[in-house]
Every structure is written in structure tokens, then in C-alpha cells.
């Protein structure tokens, strides 16, 4: 049965508040054109949303990430933080390197809690996501012991009324676990999209080491990273009062370098690094670079400048001049000169 996944998600969003009823779960085998995964990476309002908005303008993409556009047939404001999140797929792998059954049980329970939290966080996570997650957990569990078996559900692990169940995991090798995880993630991706390209925001981590490890879990993918003048990043953090960004300028300099250094040392054929200012001021050149990199043809860019208008984004260049002190701007420029724009 062919499903228009995106329209189904729109219907969910526009409908009543989501209520999960385990006995009503309905897994549908979805036919999809999904072939390629594109991951967009940035940090601290670095401008990666411009690439998300740009790719939303194409007729063969579905974009999941935080950006400035309204919900349309091509985009949803949500991060799919399933791979690298604490208690996520990569974190759970450590359970199979440990022989302590209590730690293993703790790890799988934390993963179950994450899946339930993700489901409740956004309409993008539908019945198929829950079903696939339950099946993935079943592949990992050797024994589940519980006092009160919940018979009114099609699920074995998720949304259980018995939160005191004890789990014993299988003794899987790293390769065996990764194979299960890879099949699970690929099925989840297909449940999200019926188009060729799935674009995810902040799904992967940047570094050469992480690229190789993450490819074991998700196969080949394209990664586009965006960095921005640190003075504007700092000014944005101050203006928005971001709790996770240092307000002290000396601490900010350390924080920025800690993140951005990986962007410049990472080496991979599937990795493209862009500067926010270039995307805005050299629009035609930079979007050609993006489309050539991911394989999108010019004629597939059907809604040009509908969501990413470079003229509107120009106001975000040099934003620091009206926001932070000259002393702080100069200190950042001296310490992070190679990353500053002109």
C-alpha cells in the first residue's frame, strides 16, 4: 500500500492532540523513493538553517530541522536526535561491551524512555516509529521479566504499564548490534519520507573519527556543515540570552574554538564545509556548490528564494556591531581571526 507520508503527517499536525493507544498501533509497509540521507550541521546559530531552507525549496526533499520557514509539504521543525543523543543508538552500544546485567538493564530502560519521549515530542514520530522501535528492542532483549503482563497492547516494550520490568540483553558482538541498529534506522528513515532525499538537522557529529563510526550505523550520507563569524555568533547568544552559550567573552572564545576546530580538521569525501556569509553574499555560486554536492538538479529547485532569501539574511552579517562592545569584538577577532569575516 502506497502512503503519502508527508500528507499523513500534515493531517496529524492539523488534527487533535496526539493520544497514543497501544492496542490501536497500525504498522504500514511504506513504499518510498528514499535513497539518500543529507545531514546539516551547525552550532550556536551558525546559519545552518539557510541550507535547510534552501533544500526545502526542492521538489524531491523532505527536511526535518529547525529553520525559519512555516510547515509545508517539504519541512518540519524537529531534530531527529536518535543516533548521537544521550541514551540513543550509539550510547546504547556500550551496554553490549559490559557484562554487568544491572548496567545493561539500565541502558535499555533509558533507551525506552528516550523513544517514548521522542514520540511525545513531535507528530513526525508516528505509529510506524513506535512499532519499528519496539521490534528493534525485541532484537536486543534475551529475557524480559515482569510481574504484570499487559495483554492489551501490540507492543512488548514501549508504553508498558509495568515500569518495573527486568531486562536481560543478548550477548551481541559490536558488529551484530550495529547491523540491527542500521536496519532499524533505515526503516525509520523510510517511515519519515516518500521522497528521494531526507534532510536531517544536527543528526551527526563532526570529526573524521565520528564520520567513520556513524557510517557504520547509517551507511553513506552527505554532510553539510556551516560556520559563521564568531563575533556574530557571540552577539546572537547575548541578544537571545542563550543559557548554553558562554556570556563571558574569554569562555566564549574557548567554547567556539572547541566546536569549530573539528569542522576544519574533519576530512571526508561526503563532507562539505560552508561559511554563512558566503552563502548569503555569493548566493548563486554557493547554492550550485550545494546542489552539485548532493546531486540535486537545477530544475528540481522549484521554489527559488521562497524560504531562503539571501537579501533578507544580509542583516545577520555584522550583527555584532550593534550588539556587543568594541572591546569584546576586538578580543574575539584577535583570538579567532581565521574564522572572522573580513
- Could you write out the three-class secondary structure of 185-229? HHHHHHHHCCCCEEEEECCCCCCHHHHHHHHHHHCCCEEEEEECC
Contact 310, 87 (CB under 8 A): no
Contact 223, 271 (CB under 8 A): yes
Contact 62, 197 (CB under 8 A): yes
Say which residue, 297 or 152, is predicted with more confidence: 297
pTM: 0.84
**Which band of pLDDT confidence, cut at 50, 70 and 90, is reported for residue 304?**
very high
What are the angstrom distances between the C-alpha of 199 and each of 51, 65, 100, 254, 288?
Answer: 10, 8, 38, 30, 17
Is 83 a residue whose pLDDT tops 80? yes
* Domain spans in the chain, listed from the N-terminal domain onward: 5-10+33-295+310-339
CA dihedral for 256, 258, 263, 264, sign (positive or negative)? positive
Is 23 a residue whose pLDDT tops 60? no
Is 10 a residue whose pLDDT tops 70? no
**Which band of pLDDT confidence, cut at 50, 70 and 90, is reported for residue 208?**
low
Contact 261, 335 (CB under 8 A): no
Nearest CA among 311, 336, 310 for reference residue 232:
336
pLDDT > 70: what percent of the chain? Answer: 82
CA dihedral for 312, 314, 317, 318, sign (positive or negative)? negative
Residue 63 three-state SS = strand
pLDDT > 90: what percent of the chain? Answer: 56
Say which residue, 152 or 230, is predicted with more confidence: 230
What are the angstrom distances between the C-alpha of 133 and each of 137, 162, 189, 204, 281?
Answer: 6, 18, 12, 20, 43
Say which residue, 15 or 208, is predicted with more confidence: 208
CA dihedral for 165, 133, 7, 63, sign (positive or negative)? positive
Nearest CA among 338, 340, 94, 102 for reference residue 231:
340
Say which residue, 194 or 104, is predicted with more confidence: 104
125: left (phi over 0), alpha (psi -120 to 50) or beta: beta
Is 74 a residue whose pLDDT tops 60? no
CA dihedral for 197, 202, 204, 208, sign (positive or negative)? positive
Is 43 a residue whose pLDDT tops 90? no
**Other Cβ atoms closer than 10 A to 247:** 12
**What is the average pLDDT value for the chain, to the nearest integer?**
84
Is 99 a residue whose pLDDT tops 90? no
Mean of pLDDT values over 174-201? 91
| 141-145 vs 166-169, strand pairing mode | antiparallel
**Which band of pLDDT confidence, cut at 50, 70 and 90, is reported for residue 148?**
low
Q: E strands along 15-68, which residues?
A: 36-41, 61-64
Residue 40 three-state SS = strand
Fold exhibited by the domain 5-10+33-295+310-339:
Rossmann fold (3.40.50)
**Helix residue ranges per DSSP H, 228-303:** 230-240, 249-265, 276-281, 283-294
- Per-residue confidence (pLDDT) for residue 66, from 0 to 100: 57
Angle between helices 174-192 and 127-140 (to 10 degrees): 170
Is 138 a residue whose pLDDT tops 80? yes
Residue 75 three-state SS = strand
In the sheet where 271-275 sits, what is the strand order? Answer: 75-76, 61-64, 197-201, 36-41, 222-227, 271-275
Amino acid at each position: 500500500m502506497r502512503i503519502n507520508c508527508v500528507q499523513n503527517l500534515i493531517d496529524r499536525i492539523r488534527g487533535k492532540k496526539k493520544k497514543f493507544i497501544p492496542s490501536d498501533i497500525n504498522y504500514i509497509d511504506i513504499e518510498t523513493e528514499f535513497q539518500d540521507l543529507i545531514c546539516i550541521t551547525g552550532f550556536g546559530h551558525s546559519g545552518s538553517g539557510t541550507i535547510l531552507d534552501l533544500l526545502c525549496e526542492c521538489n524531491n526533499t523532505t527536511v526535518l530541522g529547525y529553520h525559519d520557514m512555516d510547515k509545508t509539504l517539504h519541512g518540519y521543525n524537529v531534530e531527529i536526535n536518535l543516533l548521537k543523543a544521550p541514551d540513543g543508538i550509539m550510547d546504547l552500544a556500550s551496554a553490549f561491551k559490559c557484562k554487568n546485567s544491572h548496567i545493561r538493564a539500565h541502558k535499555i530502560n533509558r533507551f525506552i524512555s528516550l523513544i517514548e519521549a521522542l514520540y511525545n515530542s513531535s507528530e513526525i514520530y508516528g505509529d510506524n516509529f513506535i512499532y519499528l522501535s519496539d521490534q528493534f528492542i525485541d532484537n536486543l532483549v534475551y529475557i524480559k521479566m515482569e510481574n504484570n503482563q499487559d495483554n492489551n497492547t501490540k507492543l512488548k516494550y514501549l508504553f508498558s504499564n509495568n515500569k518495573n520490568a527486568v531486562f536481560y540483553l543478548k550477548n551481541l558482538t559490536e558488529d551484530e548490534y550495529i547491523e540491527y541498529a542500521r536496519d532499524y534506522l533505515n526503516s525509520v528513515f523510510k517511515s519519515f519520507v516518500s521522497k528521494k532525499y531526507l534532510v536531517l538537522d544536527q543528526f551527526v557529529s563532526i570529526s573524521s573519527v565520528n564520520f567513520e563510526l556513524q557510517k557504520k550505523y547509517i551507511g553513506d550520507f552527505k554532510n553539510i556543515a556551516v560556520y559563521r563569524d564568531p563575533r556574530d555568533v557571540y552577539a546572537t547568544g547575548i541578544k537571545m540570552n542563550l543559557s548554553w552559550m558562554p556570556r563571558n567573552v574569554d569562555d566564549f572564545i574557548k567554547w567556539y574554538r572547541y566546536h569549530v576546530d573539528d569542522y576544519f580538521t574533519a576530512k571526508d569525501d561526503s563532507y562539505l564545509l560552508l561559511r554563512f556569509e558566503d552563502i548569503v553574499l555569493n548566493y548563486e555560486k554557493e547554492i550550485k556548490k550545494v546542489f552539485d554536492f548532493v546531486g540535486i538538479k537545477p530544475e528540481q529547485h522549484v521554489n527559488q528564494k521562497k524560504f531562503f532569501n539571501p537579501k533578507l539574511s544580509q542583516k545577520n552579517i555584522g550583527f555584532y556591531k550593534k550588539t556587543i562592545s568594541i572591546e569584546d569584538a576586538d578580543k574575539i577577532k584577535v583570538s579567532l581571526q581565521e574564522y572572522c569575516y573580513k
